[in-house]
């Protein structure tokens, strides 16, 4: 039997986890619509790939922009929410605007995007919403109050949304990776240790996404938690 060809919207497709997911899906013959704030980052023209420029932090613009996106790509039947930002520090170190911005990108924008796309997804024979959470969605950590809150919020949202979609063909899944070797750490004071066993690779998360999309339509994979074999955090000098 021919594998089903999906049309997948991937946010954060310009870098790290989202980029790897997009590349893997394209390799498997799916159609990918990749979101970035700056489409010049997509340097290679690829068959079956369409770039879309969208700043997910601009909440007031989102309903209109997503409507336009759906007009252009009516066949979307899966969404991978990988856009996000890592910002760490004590609550007192965060400014009020940083708190608002982190919650907006990591949580509220995902809810807006979901709300806008859900009616059309419910009309498909089968569709998937796959969110990239984090190990920070499972346990609060020092210096992670706001980041963890944003990821806990995503986890609560997906649990409730799964119930909400329980009578439809929409499947809701959350992937919670530990440290993944990406540009996420470029502006942070720490990163995974140097050994291969200290970090997940973006390709590992991409493989999990493909597993979810390829799973039998009559089951839902609720959550996947992934960790490096040996967790080592290296502080930059």
Ligand X SMILES: NC(=O)c1ccc[n+]([C@@H]2O[C@H](COP(=O)([O-])OP(=O)(O)OC[C@H]3O[C@@H](n4cnc5c(N)ncnc54)[C@H](OP(=O)(O)O)[C@@H]3O)[C@@H](O)[C@H]2O)c1
Please, what is the minimum distance in Å from the beta carbon of residue 221 to ligand X? 17
Out of 28, 50, 57, 225, the residue judged to bind ligand X by CB under 6 A: 57
Please, what is the minimum distance in Å from the beta carbon of residue 217 to ligand X? 26
Short-list 8, 10, 17, CA closest to 178 = 17
Tally Cβ neighbours within 10 Å of residue 169: 16
Q: Of the ranges 6-14, 68-76, 117-125, 211-219, which one interacts with ligand X (CB under 6 A)?
A: 6-14
At 204, list the tokens: 């590992």
- Site membership for ligand X, residue 228 (CB under 6 A): no
- Measured from the CB atom, the residue of 83 and 170 that comes closer to ligand X is 83
Please, what is the minimum distance in Å from the beta carbon of residue 99 to ligand X? 16
- Site membership for ligand X, residue 129 (CB under 6 A): no
Q: Of the ranges 44-52, 117-125, 182-190, 229-237, which one interacts with ligand X (CB under 6 A)?
A: 182-190
Out of 7, 24, 82, 108, the residue judged to bind ligand X by CB under 6 A: 82
DSSP secondary-structure letter at 92?
A: G
- Measured from the CB atom, the residue of 126 and 224 that comes closer to ligand X is 224
Distance CA(104)–CA(134), nearest Å, equals 16
DSSP 3-state percent helix, strand, coil across the chain (nearest 5): 45, 20, 40
Tally Cβ neighbours within 10 Å of residue 136: 23
Tell which positions 27-56 bind ligand X, by CB under 6 A.
35-38, 41, 54-56
User: What is the 3-state secondary structure of 182-231?
Assistant: CHHHCCCCEEECCCHHHCECHHHHHHHHHHHHHCCCCCCCCEEEECCCCC
Binding site for ligand X (CB under 6 A): 11-12, 14-18, 35-38, 41, 54-57, 82-86, 105, 132, 134, 177, 179-180, 182-184
């Amino acid at each position: 039997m021919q594998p089903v060809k999906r049309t997948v919207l991937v946010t954060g497709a310009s870098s790290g986890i989202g980029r790897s997911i997009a590349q893997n899906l394209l390799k498997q013959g799916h159609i990918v619509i990749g979101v970035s704030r700056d489409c010049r980052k997509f340097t290679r023209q690829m068959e079956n790939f369409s770039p879309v420029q969208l700043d997910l932090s601009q909440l007031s613009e989102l309903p209109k922009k997503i409507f336009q996106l759906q007009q252009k790509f009516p066949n979307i039947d899966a969404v991978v929410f990988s856009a996000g930002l890592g910002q760490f520090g004590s609550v007192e170190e965060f400014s009020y605007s940083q708190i608002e911005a982190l919650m907006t990108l990591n949580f509220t924008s995902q809810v807006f995007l979901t709300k806008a796309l859900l009616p059309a997804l419910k009309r498909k024979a089968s569709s998937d919403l796959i969110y990239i959470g984090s190990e920070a969605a499972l346990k609060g950590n020092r210096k992670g109050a706001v980041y963890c809150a944003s990821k806990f919020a995503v986890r609560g949202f997906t649990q409730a949304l799964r119930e909400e979609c329980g009578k439809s063909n929409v499947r809701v899944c959350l992937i919670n990776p530990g440290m993944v070797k990406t540009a996420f750490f470029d502006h942070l004071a720490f990163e995974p240790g140097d050994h291969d066993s200290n970090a997940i690779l973006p390709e590992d998360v991409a493989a999990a996404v493909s597993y979810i999309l390829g799973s039998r339509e009559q089951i839902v994979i609720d959550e996947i938690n992934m960790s490096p074999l040996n967790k080592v955090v290296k502080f930059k000098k």
